[in-house]
Amino acid sequence: MVTAQFVPQKRSKVSPEVLALEHYHILDRSIRNVLSTELAELTMAQLVDGLPLAASGWDARGTLLRRGHPLTEHETLCNGVLEQTRAFRESFHPTMLFFYSYVRYILYAVVGSVY
């Protein structure tokens, strides 16, 4: 009896720069549209702050969050965090990201197609 062995393959990563210019611009615009939303800004700011706001804690944990927990006192972002978050967003560029190499399949997709 022959058994197959699972051999994990190392997936290489590529920069979005491998995309055709039209695909690259669509990716760039999509990411910027998402990052410009109020929810994304607040979420990123909480990551930069290092601690979620109490409201987020209550939303996520509900009654499991007990009084005295550090989150219950964290009502507002620390000074300067929102400005840091906005500065990061403004300096963000898609070439900062790396994707698994199978993103190259997009190279063969027609812009606007579903697959």
d(C-alpha 72, C-alpha 55), whole Å = 8
Residue 69, in any domain of the structure = yes
pLDDT digits (tens, 9 = 90+) for 5-35: 544 566 788 888 888 898 899 999 999 999 9
Per-residue pLDDT tens digits for 66-94: 777 777 778 899 999 999 999 999 999 98
Q: What angle do CA 34, 40, 45 make, to 5 degrees?
A: 145
**Residue 113 counted as domain residue:** no
* Domain-located, residue 8: no
Is residue 4 domain-resident?
no
In a domain, 41, yes or no: yes
In this structure, the number of other CB atoms found within 10 A of the CB of residue 33 comes to 10
Read off the pTM.
Answer: 0.68
Residue at 91 is within a domain: yes
Domain range for 99 is 16-108
Please give the tally of structural domains in the chain: 1
Cα 24 to Cα 111: distance, rounded to the nearest angstrom: 11
Quickly count: other Cβ atoms within 10 Å of residue 19's Cβ. Answer: 20
User: Is residue 114 a part of any domain in this protein?
Assistant: no
In a domain? residue 33: yes
